[in-house]
Structure 1
């Protein structure tokens, strides 16, 4: 067995270009699949699909209550469901799932289509620009504003604050993270207060659904935990989509033949989205800690030591996916990817996210004749992986 710690085997601060993280992950999978980093106070990073899957499938041993993301730890209270393990997390998760049922998704699909059309019309008329700023970032903010039924003022506040929060998180700017997080808490409290006074349909409104939820004894959920839950939801769906959509845009610019193929075969869009999710999973930092201590990948990990789960690496694991760095339409086992996690904390919004990405890709291709890179991309920091700046030149149909 290797010694429990051998220093800086993975450096999340190393400069990255678009393909760099995946080369680093491939190297780690082959020679050091559970690597140590001394960044962010020290953590382990698991890179193989089998190890990450086993961790996600064992919430009794691997808890989210101590550390659920690298970098960072909650300094402003616990936010369910991510900060809780089953069964404590279950009533919160059940309430969120209720507001994301089939009827809600059917109602929100035309809303997504309107937002996508509006943003793309403006972006394409300008000839392109930063795809993340011009399209990838505002789209989920507008979508969440509709899901939460926010006012225009609340929508603007959410978008501006979430953008500042994410940038501060990536820069490990603790002061700005705390300040913007408190603004989001205030928005969550306002939403809960207004829904208490005038509840909406819990099948359509996540805040009303949470207020209607009860614990195992039939008691209402604690108010401060509800505040934390709403605050959690407000941010989580705004972080990954811009990074993912930016990666897709880079891939299409690099592979114009694929873009043309999908333009002529739009029925392949769903399969393309699934392969893009595998290929460009935007997470490398969701985390767990072991309760009792474990041996993983030949390393000894003690209780309380964070283990980052590199979903982006797992989804290019050559032990699971043939030619993992290639984009392959209709890949037979594509659904084995972990882009949305697995187990009790699997992404609650994955159906809505798939719908969002499918519509975005379909309309981007339908409205353009060409998509070209117009400069260098700029990459995110941990916990995401992917571009936060994607300059494009696009030509309209």
Structure 2
């Protein structure tokens, strides 16, 4: 396996033929020029996720098409702190406990009105126009509005949240030039500074959003100010990005399959099954990183202490040893949530329930407002990135109901 394989234009648009070919030779591959192991197999990834003590989540490197070393320090990527997705116990445990109730299934169930208020005008406007770019009209707008409201950030700042979130994703995309990565790093630091100022202005105990909870933790000394700011950076970025990606994938699957549309119009309660298959077939985040804390073996491969790994969710979710006919959308899979798209174990994605809920509501609204949904215009294309699987555009032709 070579860096050129991973970052080829073909693999960035459609990595699955490469994954299938490589998986035939083994579940773990070494990129010598990147000094990083790429993990593709479902069982191998499940082994890593079950052992956070051996496989640390601290961010020490990302794959890069530009730099041979691939090293990115946390200080370059943010405010110099590991939080939530890149933190290990016991720090991770305390940080997750601080905000997890805000994203529980019960809490997400109470966001229906908030989500519908964001979805309705976006979908209505697109349908009234007879179609257009779903990504620009809905997928990019709704998630930022929802996560901004849940955290407690001013609606006037939502446009800036989108730009900052995109910069954070670009920083670790692996395809940014050194100049572009430098600008992205500055944007992330600006984002963290903005959120730090919001924390300073928050009233612990009075502000009821996530911002209030984090501000209270900073005031009590449970978190430092930098940790609080970077925790919020992650919540906004991951919360917006995962849902934007999922909204694109789900509607693309819908638009190219008239039978699927008919099935879901007749049985709208099965929309959630489509959303779960969309999560599996195109993992919103293509993978995450780990580093070993001691020598170990994985899928028969010896790993030294300090070995850097990228876990490829997207490859494991199409492992034919686990998923029958993995490329097919099957609304009746026996274990629909077996995939790794939202992680597993202590690092299971906090925003998973919210992403599912937003996508389900948006697909429901689109189906109710139309009689036909079809692809139109340019062929859908993905944003070049080794981290996210997000459509750059998705042009639809819509017939109003």
SS across alignment from 2:86: coil
Residues 287 and 306 of structure 1 are in contact (CA less than 8 Å); yes or no, is this contact kept in structure 2?
yes
TM-score (norm 1): 0.89
SS across alignment from 2:269: helix
Q: Call closer, same or farther: CA 1:214–1:283 in 2, change over 3 Å.
A: same
What is the deviation of 1:377? 1.8
Which position in structure 1 is the counterpart of 2:354?
A: 352
Q: Of 356, 375, 392, which residue of structure 2 is paired with 1:388? A: 392
In structure 1, how many angstroms separate the alpha carbons of the residues matched to 2:389 and 2:110? 31
Of residues 258-267 and 41-50 in structure 1, the stretch that sits farther from structure 2 once superposed is 41-50
Which position in structure 1 is the counterpart of 2:22?
A: 28
In structure 2, how many angstroms separate the alpha carbons of the residues matched to 1:153 and 1:214? 25
What is the deviation of 1:73? 4.5
Instruction: State the Cα deviation string for residues 2-47 of structure 1 (Å, max 9, x = none).
Output: xxxxx617722111379721222222222232123357x4422111
The 5 A counterparts of 1:223-238 are 223-238=225-240
Residues 70 and 287 of structure 1 are in contact (CA less than 8 Å); yes or no, is this contact kept in structure 2?
no
The 5 A counterparts of 1:116-127 are 116-127=119-130
Alignment root-mean-square deviation, CA? 2.4
Gaps of 5+ in 1: 1-6
In structure 1, how many angstroms separate the alpha carbons of the residues matched to 2:228 and 2:296? 33
In structure 2, how many angstroms separate the alpha carbons of the residues matched to 1:262 and 1:73? 46
In structure 1, how many angstroms separate the alpha carbons of the residues matched to 2:112 and 2:273? 19
Q: Of 182, 192, 197, which residue of structure 1 is paired with 2:199? A: 192
Confirm whether residue 47 of structure 1 aligns to residue 50 of structure 2: no
Which position in structure 2 is the counterpart of 1:144?
A: 147
Which position in structure 2 is the counterpart of 1:16?
A: 10
In structure 2, how many angstroms separate the alpha carbons of the residues matched to 1:86 and 1:214? 19
In structure 2, how many angstroms separate the alpha carbons of the residues matched to 1:304 and 1:122? 51
Of residues 359-368 and 69-78 in structure 1, the stretch that sits farther from structure 2 once superposed is 69-78
Structure with greater contact order relative to length (CA < 8 Å, sep ≥ 6): 1
Q: Of 44, 56, 60, which residue of structure 1 is paired with 2:49? A: 56
What is the deviation of 1:168? 5.6
Which position in structure 1 is the counterpart of 2:69?
A: none
What is the deviation of 1:274? 1.5
In structure 1, how many angstroms separate the alpha carbons of the residues matched to 2:237 and 2:223? 21
Instruction: State the Cα deviation string for residues 224-268 of structure 1 (Å, max 9, x = none).
Output: 211221122121112222222222222222212111111111011
The list of structure 1 runs, each at least 4 consecutive aligned residues, that deviate by more than 6 angstroms after superposition, is: none
What is the deviation of 1:147? 0.4
The 5 A counterparts of 1:127-276 are 127-167=130-170, 169-170=172-173, 171-172=175-176, 173-196=180-203, 199-201=206-208, 205-213=209-217, 219-276=221-278
Gaps of 5+ in 2: 65-71
Residues 68 and 286 of structure 1 are in contact (CA less than 8 Å); yes or no, is this contact kept in structure 2?
no
In structure 2, how many angstroms separate the alpha carbons of the residues matched to 1:152 and 1:239? 18
What is the deviation of 1:52? 0.5
Residues 58 and 82 of structure 2 are in contact (CA less than 8 Å); yes or no, is this contact kept in structure 1?
no
In structure 1, how many angstroms separate the alpha carbons of the residues matched to 2:322 and 2:4? 23
Instruction: State the Cα deviation string for residues 35-62 of structure 1 (Å, max 9, x = none).
Output: 23357x4422111110001101100000
In structure 1, how many angstroms separate the alpha carbons of the residues matched to 2:256 and 2:228? 44
